[in-house]
Structure 1
Amino acid sequence: MTARPVILCVDDEVRSLQTLERTLDEEFDVLCASSAEEALTLLESNVVQAILCDQRMPGKTGVELLTEVRERWPEPARLILSGYTDSDDIIRGLNDAGILQYITKPWHPDNLLMILRNACQMYQLQSENDQLNLEMKLSEVQASTRVKQKRARLQQSFQLDQIKRAESSPLNDICEQAAQIAPYDISVLVTGPSGAGKELFARALHYNSLRKDKPFVVENCGAMPDELLASELFGHKKGSFTGAISDHIGLFEQADGGTIFLDEIGEITPAFQVKLLRVLQEREVRRLGEHQRRRVDVRIVASTNRDLREEVKAGRFRQDLYYRLAEVTLELPTLAQRPMDVPLLAENFLAHAMRDFDKPVTGFSAEAMAAMQQYHWPGNVRELQNEVRRVLVLAKGEYLTADLLSPAIQQTETRTETQEIDLLDGLDGSLKERVEALEQRILKATLARHHWNKSRAAKELGLSRVGLRSKLERYGMERADPASESTQTNEHTE
C-alpha cells in the first residue's frame, strides 16, 4: 500500500490539536506537538510532508518556528493557522518562513483538507523534481563519460598503426608521411582510385591531429547540384529557396574547430569552385539567404579519384583552388599494387563479417588466398571487403574455399599460369642469355606497373635505386621519353 502523507500539527491548545487530529486522520498520518521544542524533536525522527502550525504560542511563535524549520528541513510545506490577521505577521511569515498559506480561524474542515491535499501534492511534485534534477545530473555525467569513451575508441581505431598493411607495403611510406603532417593545420588532398581507402586516411589525419576532440564531418561533392551543395556546406536561411522550411546550419559551421572532409572534390562545377575558394581564403561562410558572414575554423581534407593537375591543365579545375586544397598530397596506391596486403585485409574483413553475421569459420583455404592475391581488384579495398562478406555468406564448411570466389577471381589463377608459360616463350640461347632476357622482361613489367617510378619499382624488386639504374643502363632500358620520366620522377621523389 502507498504510505499516507504525514502532517505535523503544532498548537499549544490541547483541544485544538485534538480537533485537528480528528479532522485529518482519515486521509493523513497526523503527528501532534504542543510546543515548538516538541515539534523540532518530532521532525528530527520523522519525515513529514506538511506542517500546520498555530501562530500565537508560548515561547517561539509559529513564524519563528517555521523559519527555523525552513533552514533545517526546507522540503515540507509550511502553513500558519491563526485567529489573528496581523498583516505584519503575514508578511514576516511569507518572507522569513516561506509560508505556503496563511489559514484563519475558524477553519472549515473541507477547506482545510483541500489545502493540505494541495500542500502534500506540492511536496510530492517538488520531490519528483529534485529527483529528476539529480537523475539529469547523473545522466549528464554518464553521457559525458560515454562520449569520452566513444571518442577514445574512435581515436584508437583510426590510429595510423591500425591500418592493415604488410612490412613491405607501399602504404608504409604514406602512413609515415601522414603521421608527420597530421598534427599541423595544413590542407591535405588524398588521391587514389575509388575504394582505395581515402576516407580512412582522412579520418586518420583528423584523429591524429590536435583537433581530434572536435567534429569530423563528411560531404560527398559528387553529382550534387550547386544550390544543394551550397546549402549543405554553408547552410541556409528559412525561405531562401523552395523547400527551405527552416534555418539550416551548414557543415562548415558544424565542423568549427574540427575537420571537414570533402570527398570527390574533383566533381564540383567551376561556378562552385569560386564559392569554395572564397570560403577557404576568408575562412568565413555566408548562409544562403543571409548577408551575415560567420567565422569558421576548420581543417580541410579533400579527396578525388581524378588527376587534378590534368584537370587544371584542361581548364576544368581552378589552379588557385587546387593549391589551396593540395598543400600536401597523399597518393594512395591501388590494391593491385599492394598484393602483399591482401591476406591481412581479408582476414580483418573476415573477422568483422563473422561478428556481423554471427557465423564463425576457421578461415580461407590456401588456394582461395592465392587466387585473391593474384586478382587485380579493380574495385580495390572496397571490392575485397564485399567479396569476403559474400564468400562468408555462401560458405557451408569450415573453410572459405576457392570455388566460393567470384568467377573473375577464380579465373585469375588460370590466367596467371598461362602468363607464366607465355613469359618463357621466345627465350633462346644459353641459360645465362635466357635469364638476362627474362630479367629484362621483369624489369620492364615492374616499371610499367609503377609508371616508371624507379623508387617504387626498386623497392618491389628488392633493389636499391642505384642498383636498378645500373641494370637499366646495362640493358639499355632507359625510357624513350626522358623529359616525361624526369617529370614523373620528380613528382614522386621520396
Structure 2
Amino acid sequence: MNLLVVEDDAPLAELFVGIAEKRGLRASRAATIAEGRARIEAGDDIEILLTDMRLPDGSGIDLIEWTRKADPRIVILAITAFGSIEIAVRAVRQGAYDFLTKPVEPAVLGVALDRAMEARRLRGEVEALRGALATENALRGIIGKSRALADITSVVRRVADSPATVLVTGPSGSGKELVARALHEASRRKDAPFVAVNAAAIPETLLESELFGYKKGAFTDARQDKKGIFVEADGGTLFLDEIGDLPLVLQAKILRVLEEREVRPLGATRSAPVDVRVVAATNHDLRKAVKEGRFREDLFYRLAVIEIAIPPLRDRPEDILPLAEHFLGRAKARAGLSLQGFSGAAARVLMAYDWPGNVRELENAVERAVALAQDEWISPDDLPPTVQKPSTPDLFASAAERMMTLDEVDRAYVKHVLERFGGNKVRAAAALGINRRTIQRWLGEEE
C-alpha cells in the first residue's frame, strides 16, 4: 500500500517513513499542504495519509477535509505536537481515521499504521462488493451505484410480480422506459409481450384506435379488423409513456379498461377481457395537472398504486461514470473498436457537467466520443463542446438587464439553490450559510 507523509519537520518525516516501510508500506513525503494535494491529484494512488496538524501553508484539518472530498477511500491519520481533545474531535469529524499526539512512540505509530492498512483493505472490499451489487442490479440497463438507483431496483424486485399498476416519474431522458422494462423482465410476465407506446407521439385522432383497435367497417378506412395495443400486450406489460399528454376523453376510457380489465374496439358491440400489467410514465407533475383539471384524479390514483420517481442525473453523480462505461462498452462493440476507456481528464469533465438531458444526453455524448476518438483512451476533446465547456445562465447579468432590486436578486438566487437541492430547505440553507427559517422568510412562507 502507498502512504503519503505530510510533515514539514524533515528528520521526523524520515522517521515516520522508516517505520512505515518496516510495515511493508511504500512511503513518500510532502512538506506542505500544497505538495500533499499535488501528490494526491497526480494520481499516485495514495491509500493512507499521515499528516501533521500544523503545516507551513495551513492547517492539517483543511487537508483532511479536502482529502475526504477528493478521494474518500484514503485512510487518514492525524498527528501533532499540539494535541488536544478539541483538535482530535475536529480531525475525526472531518474524516480522520485515527489521531496520534507527538512525541509518538514507534510502536504506537506501527499499530496505528497496521489498523489503517486493515481499514483500507476493508474499504476496498466494500467497494468491490458494491461494484458486484451494481452489476447484479443492472436489470435491463439500470446501471449505477447511487442510493437512489439501489432504492429503485429494490422496489422493482419487490413489486415485479404484483398486478398493481406503476407510475414512473422523472425528467426526459432519465430512463423511465428502462425501469418499465426491468419491471417486466423481473416478473412472471417476462416471456409475454412488452409493448411500449408514446402517447405524445401519436396524433389524437389515431390514438383511440391504436390503443383499443377497431372492427372492419368501424370507419371509412377500416377495411379489416385491427388489434389494439392493449390486446397486443395481453398476458404481458403495456408501457404507456407520456401519460400526462393524454386528452381527457381518452383518460376516461383508459380508466375503464384498468377498472374492468376488458377492452372494446371501435365498432365492436362487446368488450373482450385483457390481462395486462400497465406501467405508465410521465415527466409532468400529475398532481399539479389534477389540481388544474388537466388530468383525471381517479385515473391518477389508479395509475399511482406504486410510484417510482427517478431523480435527474445531476442529483446522482455516482451513476455518471458507471453509465458512461456501460455506454462505452456497447458503442465500441458496435463500432468494432478496442478503446481502453476514458482518460482521467475526460472522466472529470463528465463528472463536472450538469447533464440537463440526463441519461439520454450522456449516451449520445459517449457515442459521439467513440466515433471521434483518435486514441485508445477517450479525451475531453472527443466529448461534445457543450460538455467540455458547459454554459451557465448568468443570474447577475439577467438581474442587471431586468433592473432587479437586491431583494429580488436574493430571492431569485435562493430559489435557484433550492431547486438545485430538489426543494430540500435544510441542504439549501447549509449551502447558503444561513438557517432554514431565513429561507422561509425570504420566500414569504410562514414559519
- Of the three residues 421, 426, 431, the one matched with 1:450 is 421
Distance in 1 between residues matched to 2:444 and 2:327, nearest whole Å = 43
Q: CA deviation at 1:388?
A: 0.6
2:304 matched residue in structure 1 = 326
Q: CA deviation at 1:318?
A: 0.8
1:209 matched residue in structure 2 = 187
Aligned AA (1:165) = G
- Of the three residues 155, 162, 171, the one matched with 1:193 is 171
Q: CA deviation at 1:273?
A: 1.1
Matching of residues 271-350 of structure 1 within 5 Å: 271-350=249-328
Q: CA deviation at 1:415?
A: 7.3
Aligned AA (2:324) = A
Q: CA deviation at 1:333?
A: 0.8
Would you say the 8 A contact 2:240–2:278 is kept in 1?
yes
Matching of residues 337-416 of structure 1 within 5 Å: 337-412=315-390
Would you say the 8 A contact 2:141–2:178 is kept in 1?
no
Q: Does 1:164 align with 2:125?
A: no
The 3-state SS of whatever aligns with 1:351 is: helix
The 3-state SS of whatever aligns with 2:258 is: helix
2:13 matched residue in structure 1 = none
Q: Does 1:479 align with 2:440?
A: yes
The 3-state SS of whatever aligns with 1:170 is: helix
**Residues 481 and 198 of structure 1, relative CA distance in 2, 3 Å threshold:** farther
Q: CA deviation at 1:254?
A: 1.8
Would you say the 8 A contact 2:140–2:182 is kept in 1?
no
- Aligned pair count reads 295
Deviations 1:158-198 (A, max 9, x none): 864962112x4422222222222222111110011111000
Q: CA deviation at 1:447?
A: 5.0
1:250 matched residue in structure 2 = 228
Distance in 2 between residues matched to 1:358 and 1:281, nearest whole Å = 50
**Residues 326 and 453 of structure 1, relative CA distance in 2, 3 Å threshold:** same
- Aligned sequence identity (%): 47
Distance in 1 between residues matched to 2:247 and 2:348, nearest whole Å = 43
- Of the three residues 216, 223, 232, the one matched with 1:238 is 216
Distance in 1 between residues matched to 2:384 and 2:141, nearest whole Å = 28
Would you say the 8 A contact 1:339–1:374 is kept in 2?
no
Distance in 2 between residues matched to 1:415 and 1:240, nearest whole Å = 54
Q: TM-score, normalised by structure 1?
A: 0.54
Aligned AA (1:451) = G
Matching of residues 68-87 of structure 1 within 5 Å: none
Q: CA deviation at 1:286?
A: 0.8
The 3-state SS of whatever aligns with 1:214 is: coil
Aligned AA (1:323) = Y
Would you say the 8 A contact 2:212–2:227 is kept in 1?
yes
The 3-state SS of whatever aligns with 1:303 is: strand
Aligned AA (2:331) = A
2:405 matched residue in structure 1 = none
Distance in 1 between residues matched to 2:137 and 2:219, nearest whole Å = 39
The 3-state SS of whatever aligns with 2:202 is: coil
**Residues 274 and 476 of structure 1, relative CA distance in 2, 3 Å threshold:** closer
Moved more, 248-257 or 199-208: 248-257
Distance in 2 between residues matched to 1:373 and 1:180, nearest whole Å = 31
- Of the three residues 240, 243, 250, the one matched with 1:262 is 240
Q: CA deviation at 1:209?
A: 2.0
Distance in 1 between residues matched to 2:210 and 2:136, nearest whole Å = 28
The 3-state SS of whatever aligns with 2:440 is: coil
5+ residue gaps, structure 1: 1-155, 420-442, 462-467, 487-494
Would you say the 8 A contact 1:217–1:260 is kept in 2?
yes
Work out which of the two has the higher radius of gyration on C-alpha atoms and give 1 or 2. Answer: 1
**Residues 256 and 160 of structure 1, relative CA distance in 2, 3 Å threshold:** same
**Residues 158 and 220 of structure 1, relative CA distance in 2, 3 Å threshold:** farther
Would you say the 8 A contact 2:140–2:181 is kept in 1?
no
| Root-mean-square deviation over aligned CA pairs | 3.3
